[in-house]
Amino acid sequence: MARQIRWRPEDESRELIFAVCERFLRGEKAASIARWVQRHCQRPSFRRTQIYPLLGAASRLGFFQLLPPLERQLAADLRAVYKLPHQDPESLIVVNAPGPAAHDHLTTAAAALVVRLMKRVVEQKRRSGVPRVEVHLGLGGGMTAMMVSRKIARALAAERELPPLVIHTLSSGGFLPNEPQKSPISCFSYFDGLPTEIECVALFTETVVSSDDFGLVTANPAVKCVMDRKNEIDIVVTSLAAASDRHGLLRRYLEWLREMGGIDEAKLDRMHQNGWIGDVQFRPYSAAGPMDDHCGVRAVTLLEISDLVEWANHTISAKSFGDQGKQTGSFKYIVLVAGPCAECGELKTVALKPLLENEKLRVFTHLVTDVATAQDLLQKAQEQMKK
């Protein structure tokens, strides 16, 4: 007797999966949807119980995303306590998604924000009368930025009209040889197949170089021509890592390098002794501000912390920062996604707090964070006030 082949939702055509989901989300009853499939798709044996696995398949295919609720009061409190700019209501988003799924929902909300900012950029450029309206995205490395990038691409697939896109990577290759998926280069593939013109601008160089050689490396014509284009970027997507978190890519890479004999223990200790508290796109900082590379090596990156601070200040100080699409001219948006560690769930509050408090570290125009981080930030500020 021939073995029956097990039905898998992924085997159904995309058109059928989409049609079923659309009807289900409209509130149509499962039995009625099943009858519709039987009649209109020539599938007399289709059952209503097959609908639920199809919803899962649709989600995996990126047909829909669930946007988590936002905590507006917590955002307002945080804004007041840390004196964050308030003209643009979207400049601080607190995602109400506690628990293990917090990171996933946070990146969904961040991606949705980036898509809205892209529309703002298009509008601004049209008003400015630039001959070619294209949007330049600067995408960072690391797990969080990668997840946001993937979701941006998914969200763009659902847009009716897309401007030409130019994708810039903020750093070169991956850090650890066994984790190529965290390299920003891998994000180019997410945008494949979008119905628009896409240009990729990759920073191809050694990931980490001796600090003394940085000038030499960036003078290389292949690197220089990419570096020279950094000012074209309209929207930067970045996260941060806490030096205390063993999953931070910079920390893991430096520890790996020490194990491989690339740097000695004393040099790494010097980073900690000098107050290393976190990094943004592999550029380290202490609570006092951006810090020197005391370990003798540094990542090759398109942007320094000081570049991000300067760009953010320029945009925030514009009178019409909050008027979506009303600005003209060149404004840059920096979306900092600051949730718990994607791998262990540890909060990054200790590393995030200086980015809110110290003007030399205000690397963002838009901050997307989660409830747990926001509550921890508020509590830490209140404890500080009591002292």
Binding mask 97-126 toward Zn ion (x if CB under 5 A, else -) reads ------------------------------
**Residue pair 352/323 in contact by the 8 Å Cβ criterion:** no
Q: How far apart are CA 121 and CA 115, in angstroms?
A: 10
Give least dist CB 59 to Zn ion, A.
Answer: 26
- Of the listed pieces 30-38, 51-59, 126-134, 242-250, which binds Zn ion according to CB under 5 A? 242-250
Using CB under 5 A, which of 343, 379, 382, 384 touches Zn ion? 343
Q: Which CB sits closer to Zn ion, 260 or 344?
A: 344
Closest residue to Zn ion in the complex (CB): 341
- Of the listed pieces 57-65, 158-166, 190-198, 338-346, which binds Zn ion according to CB under 5 A? 338-346
Give least dist CB 192 to Zn ion, A.
Answer: 30
Q: Which CB sits closer to Zn ion, 290 or 340?
A: 340
Give least dist CB 200 to Zn ion, A.
Answer: 30
Give least dist CB 296 to Zn ion, A.
Answer: 25
Q: How far apart are CA 281 and CA 239, in angstroms?
A: 7
| Residue 235: closest CA among 317, 160, 322, 167 | 167
Q: Which CB sits closer to Zn ion, 247 or 267?
A: 247
Q: Which CB sits closer to Zn ion, 134 or 245?
A: 245
252 sits near Zn ion (criterion: CB under 5 A) = no
Give least dist CB 21 to Zn ion, A.
Answer: 34
- Of the listed pieces 122-130, 212-220, 241-249, 288-296, which binds Zn ion according to CB under 5 A? 241-249
Pairing mode of beta strands 208-210, 235-239: unpaired
Q: Which CB sits closer to Zn ion, 74 or 351?
A: 351
247 sits near Zn ion (criterion: CB under 5 A) = yes
Tokens of 95: 């995602």
Give least dist CB 224 to Zn ion, A.
Answer: 35
Q: Which CB sits closer to Zn ion, 9 or 142?
A: 142
User: b vs e for 111-127, b when ≥16 Cβ sit within 10 Å of the residue's Cβ?
Assistant: bbbbbebbebbbbbbee
The residue count for binding Zn ion (CB under 5 A) is: 6
The residues facing 367 across adjacent strands are 92, 336
245 sits near Zn ion (criterion: CB under 5 A) = yes
| Residue 232: closest CA among 362, 148, 332, 164 | 332
| End-to-end Cα separation, the chain, in angstroms | 79
| Residue 343: closest CA among 176, 114, 137 | 176
The set of residues, in sequence order, having a beta carbon less than 8 Å from that of 36 and lying 6+ positions away, is 19, 23
Using CB under 5 A, which of 341, 351, 361, 372 touches Zn ion? 341
**Residue pair 98/371 in contact by the 8 Å Cβ criterion:** yes
The residues facing 237 across adjacent strands are 139, 335
**Contact footprint for Zn ion (CB under 5 A):** 245, 247, 341, 343-344, 346
